[in-house]
Amino acid sequence: MYRPRVIPCLLLRGFGLVKTRKFKDPVYIGDPVNAVRIFSEKEADELMLLDIDASKEGRAPNYELIEEIAGECLMPIGYGGGITEYEQVRRLIRSGVEKVVINSAAALGNIDVITKAAGAFGSQAVVGGVDVRKTLLKGYRVMAKSASEETGLKLEDHLERLVAAGAGEILLNNIDADGTMAGFDLSLVRRAVEAVDVPVVPCGGAGSIEHLSRAVREGGATAVSAGSFFVFHGKRRAVLINYNPIELANI
């Protein structure tokens, strides 16, 4: 029987890992190489590594650090942050990354990088990253550069453009739910799933196995991703990396 993938999402800032709440107030949670080593030992399905400052600061990926992290990863790893051109994608794949997440560049008009990357490495290696915020009057809107820039794009329109350009998967980040551990916005998940015919991986809001399960069973997600759920423990949010494949098999 098919089991949905469960993907820890790690946020890279400089040379360390952080966790945010609604894309703000980053809290340091540890060294990325050590964290990836732990997730490898716990047999995570896949990992997603996102540099939250690269696009906002207009800088390229840190290839040396990414290669070091990928070298410790025993499962597929995806990377996003600062990708604006095909040559960067090529270097990342050579560094050991299986998937690239292209977000701000595509949202701000440079969608050709997706087409070129998919043409060279296949759509399965290209993830369309989408950061979404719900507004009072305009509904769901796409943001860029770690939610610091409004794009004016409507959710469904942007999703369709990403897939048409060659993205083989969508990583859907809910800005409002990020770090809250209060559950996924199932309405948002369903809208994204219904808009495109590629896997949609929601991220933002997971705080329990039930939340992950509902995103799949009620939201229609093909896979689920979470950050806080895998790195925090207890009401005081003590840092404790945890990934239990036996429990997660029940979603």
> Which residues are catalytically annotated?
131
* Distance separating alpha carbons of residues 113 and 35, to the nearest angstrom: 30
Query: In this structure, are residues 40 and 75 in contact, taking their beta carbons and an 8 Å threshold?
Result: yes
- Residue recorded with tokens 């943001």: 143
Q: What CA–CA distances, in Å, run from 151 to 109, 138, 158, 204? A: 10, 13, 10, 20
* Distance separating alpha carbons of residues 4 and 209, to the nearest angstrom: 13
Here the tokens at position 43 are 């047999």
Integer-rounded Cα radius of gyration of the chain: 16
Query: In this structure, are residues 188 and 140 in contact, taking their beta carbons and an 8 Å threshold?
Result: yes
Count of alpha carbons within 13 angstroms of residue 103, beta-carbon side: 29
For residue 214, the one-letter residue type is: R
Here the tokens at position 100 are 């690239």
φ, ψ (nearest 5 deg) of residue 163:
-70, -40
* Distance separating alpha carbons of residues 99 and 125, to the nearest angstrom: 4
Q: Which helix (H) or strand (E) holds 11?
A: strand 5-13
